[in-house]
A and B are shown apart, each in its own frame.
Chain A
Amino acid sequence: MVNLTINGKVVQAEEGEVLLSVIRREKIDVPALCHHEAVEAFGACRLCVVEITRQEWDGWCDYVTSCLYPASDGLIVNTHAAKVNDLRKTIVDLFLARHPKCPEIIELAAEYGVYSTTYQTVVDGDNCILCGLCTRICDRMGFHAISTVGRGHGKEVSPPLHKAPPDCTGCLACAQNCPTSFIEYSAAKGFLTIWDKKFELLKCSGCGKETITKVFAEHLCQERKIPFEYFQICDECHRKQLAATMGEITSWDREAAS
């Protein structure tokens, strides 16, 4: 365990734990668009920047991405120093220039008092901030279906060969973790479409509601040894059934007690 100071308060952290996780534990709000606890930090969005210093640094400060910087004894962290706010302001300003129509970015920028970018706007830009969360999460899921393609100005997230990705299971983990809701998908009439790939959806045998894709369910069955029947019923119906089972158990209890 190490002791460090965050915004004037002495807190404890595991040696080497990244600052962002300590900051979150302290319930301090620091924007972090490319971070997800399930995957390795990436340092792409730069928004989680904080000011650090140490007693012996003699007033000298440094600015680091808290999602990557490890906690250590005696570190003094300021998550909202004036300079930090300035830096974040510049970052959201740049994001706004590149993604002028992105609602999430517009909202974040407004929080920092940026209502229009001071840079030149990218006219036909999209809403992907290239944070790489989707690809890292897909890798983490074990599917490796998508990746970043190209580099520099032309960099984008795409399935291989710009065709429906053969390894995609339609699990939606990428889309639901995208900070700017850029990854589109649609579900209609028993089918889910994502990355131009169409998947059959399972239907709950209880209420008829559509649940997860058949391919993803089959994958989970195989990898996690879950019986397929488990996926033929939705969570709500599972809970309803659970109430019935639990009811039975309590009545047995009563019988046993009497």
Chain B
Amino acid sequence: MNHDLSKLPGIFDRYPKHQQSLIAVLQDIQKEYQFLPCEALEETARVLDVPLSKVFSVSTFYNAFSLHPRGEKVLRVCVGTTCHIRGAAQIQEQLESQLNIKAGETTPDLKFTIETVGCVGACAKAPVVIVNERYYGPVKVSDYKKLLRGK
């Protein structure tokens, strides 16, 4: 897959070119493209002078990074302890069956992605679902329509 990598130099320019900038650069790339294209990882390794293996290790370690294109709407279901107790599993199941994909997957039309995350620090509102940057909670199973609005 070829991606327009023209945004990369601008991102690199924001940070000093060394290993410490790695996460910040990856975050910006993720934000720009909604995922981390392979070519961008290679370019990052080259520009920051960090081994490609380290770039790959970091980009696969954090949930915030994705190596595959994600949907326009990323639905992140919190499955942390509190949300789990308050029924996160049922919400996850409902979203999965509505969109016909599993957590970690993206609909073929690139509209939706479902992901699970650990505690997001909003236990008071458990169970929590984050749609792109916006937090929803407490979410009921029947709230799926609201979460998927724009489908």
Contact = CB atoms under 8 A, between A and B. Distances in A.
Most buried by B among A145, A147, A151, A159: A147
B9 interface: no
A146 to B, nearest CB: 6
Most buried by B among A150, A160, A161: A160
Q: Looking at chain B's contact residues, is the secondary structure mostly helix, strand, loop, or mixed? A: helix
Interface string A127-159: 000000001000000001111111100000011
Interface residues of B, number: 12
Nearest to A151: B61
Given A160-B41, A161-B38, A161-B41, A150 B53 contact: no
B61 A160 contact: no
B56 A161 contact: yes
A165 interface: yes
A145 B53 CA distance: 6
A159 B61 contact: no
A31 interface: no
A26 interface: no
A145 B45 CA distance: 12
Contacts of A165: 52-53
Nearest to B51: A144
A62 interface: no
Contacts of A159: 53
B126 to A, nearest CB: 22
B18 interface: no
Nearest to B62: A151
Given A151-B61, A160-B41, A167 B51 contact: yes
Most buried by A among B38, B53, B54, B57: B53
Nearest to B57: A147
B29 interface: no
Nearest to B50: A144
B105 to A, nearest CB: 15
Contact of A166 (B38, B52, B54, B61): B52
B81 to A, nearest CB: 16
Contacts of B22: none
Given A160-B41, A161-B38, A161-B41, A144 B53 contact: yes
B55 interface: yes
B21 interface: no
Q: List the 8 shortest-distance A-B pairs measured between CB atoms, nearest first.
A: A144-B51, A160-B56, A147-B57, A147-B53, A160-B52, A149-B60, A150-B60, A160-B53
10 contacts: A144-B53, A147-B53, A147-B54, A149-B56, A150-B61, A151-B61, A161-B56, A166-B52, A167-B51, A167-B52
Given A147-B56, A159-B53, A161-B38, 13 more contacts: A135-B53, A144-B51, A144-B53, A144-B54, A147-B51, A149-B56, A150-B61, A160-B41, A160-B45, A160-B53, A161-B41, A165-B53, A167-B52
Interface of B: 38, 41, 45, 51-57, 60-61
Interface of A: 135, 144-151, 158-161, 165-167
